[in-house]
Amino acid sequence: MAIRHCGNRLNSRGYITINSPIGILDVYPFGDGAFSHNRRYNTLGIKGKIKGKAIASPILISAVQINRNTFTLVWDYVDEFVNPVISIQYSLDGQSWNTVKTVNDIKTDTVTSTELNNVLTGTDVYFRIMVNSDEYFNKISNTQVINWQFNDYRITEIRRAENLQCGYSELVFDIEGTVDLDVEWTFNSYPGGGKAQCIDYTGPEQINITTDYGIDATEIRNTTISVDGESKRFELRLYDTDRSLDLTFLKCYKTPHNNEIALTSADMLVKFTNTETLEENYIALNVFTTKYY
């Protein structure tokens, strides 16, 4: 904050220059009683006339998508922005904005953001820039819109809960968009006796595996999943074994008669392969329990 006077100091009450979130402001106090101090919040209040320093807003000239998570913006701003900081922002609704990159004193940039991996083909993505300098703050450009491409589907984790109820874990996930997937399910049980199940909320279950008791066990299943402009929800459930390697029944609580410890676990790795592009995605789930016998 800077305090200045206008001309003859005896005939002018002067003005105060303030950096504000909307830019540089000149405040002309209204004379006696214009200033007040709030002791509780330690804030200074000023009653007066406010004049701002006008400047042309930056212009976003173009926005071009390069691939599924990359785009290039070209913009311009007036020379009054000295050594500006430019925030590159996107929105999916034109209201809530996310800053994906900040650059200094340039007028074009190519941005890659993993946040865009989950934007489906056909979604309108809004772009803008916000420019700041020492004298001008949060000056926002016009908006450019790209109808997003290259992301025909996405796999989204909805809920994960692990190591519940004496050796139980679950994972709920959605597959949205349009895609044909080859799915490989690799299930391990240590020791054997663990179980795995994947429920399709809109169709028959994908897998239902029960391994034999005894030594460590591995089972592999192969299925297919197709979505066609829709969303499907799946729930993967894992149960580790309830018997030890020598087939002794195991419990999840300790008593005076069962104080021997057995560690049991199970895990699942799911590989999704896009049949058209051969792109692979993975999800994993495990369960680990200390049991007694």
Q: Indicate if the pLDDT at residue 59 is higher than 80.
A: yes
pLDDT digits (tens, 9 = 90+) for 196-244: 999 999 989 999 999 999 999 999 999 999 999 999 999 999 999 999 9
Q: Indicate if the pLDDT at residue 183 is higher than 70.
A: yes
CATH number of the domain that residue 78 is part of: 2.60.40.10
pLDDT band at residue 53 using 50, 70 and 90 as cut-offs: low
pTM value surpassing 0.95: no
pLDDT digits (tens, 9 = 90+) for 4-28: 555 444 445 677 777 666 556 778 8
- Indicate if 141 and 228 belong to the same structural domain: no
pLDDT digits (tens, 9 = 90+) for 273-290: 999 999 999 999 999 999
- Indicate if 110 and 136 belong to the same structural domain: yes
Q: Indicate if the pLDDT at residue 185 is higher than 50.
A: yes
Mean per-residue pLDDT, 65-86: 95
* DSSP codes, 43-57: EEEE-EEEEE---PP
CATH number of the domain that residue 287 is part of: 2.60.40
Q: Indicate if the pLDDT at residue 118 is higher than 60.
A: yes
- Indicate if 164 and 179 belong to the same structural domain: yes
- Indicate if 67 and 34 belong to the same structural domain: no
pLDDT band at residue 137 using 50, 70 and 90 as cut-offs: confident
Distance CA 100, CA 121 (A): 20
Q: What percent of the chain has pLDDT over 90?
A: 70
28 or 141, which is more confident = 141
Q: What percent of the chain has pLDDT over 70?
A: 92
Mean per-residue pLDDT, 252-266: 83
Which one of 29, 52, 75 terminates a domain?
52
Q: For the chain, state the CA radius of gyration.
A: 31
pLDDT digits (tens, 9 = 90+) for 150-164: 999 999 999 999 999
Q: Write the single-letter amino acid at 208.
A: N
- Indicate if 166 and 199 belong to the same structural domain: yes
281, burial (CB in 10 Å: exposed 0-12, middle 13-18, buried 19+) = middle
- Indicate if 208 and 266 belong to the same structural domain: yes
Mean per-residue pLDDT, 51-78: 91
DSSP at 259? -
189, burial (CB in 10 Å: exposed 0-12, middle 13-18, buried 19+) = buried
The overall longest dimension of the chain from CA atoms, in Å, is 100
Strands 2-4 and 15-20 come out as antiparallel
- How many domains would you assign to the chain? 3
- Indicate if 139 and 226 belong to the same structural domain: no
- Indicate if 283 and 160 belong to the same structural domain: yes
- The whole-number pLDDT of residue 25 equals 73
- Indicate if 63 and 186 belong to the same structural domain: no
Residue 91 belongs to what domain range?
A: 59-147
Which one of 115, 147, 179 terminates a domain?
147
- Indicate if 170 and 280 belong to the same structural domain: yes
Strands 144-147 and 48-52 come out as unpaired
Which one of 147, 172, 193 terminates a domain?
147
How much is the mean pLDDT over the chain? Answer: 90
258 or 284, which is more confident = 284
- Residues 190, 265: contact at Cβ < 8 Å? yes
- Indicate if 11 and 122 belong to the same structural domain: no
- The whole-number pLDDT of residue 40 equals 86
- Indicate if 284 and 191 belong to the same structural domain: yes
pLDDT digits (tens, 9 = 90+) for 82-103: 999 999 999 999 999 999 999 9
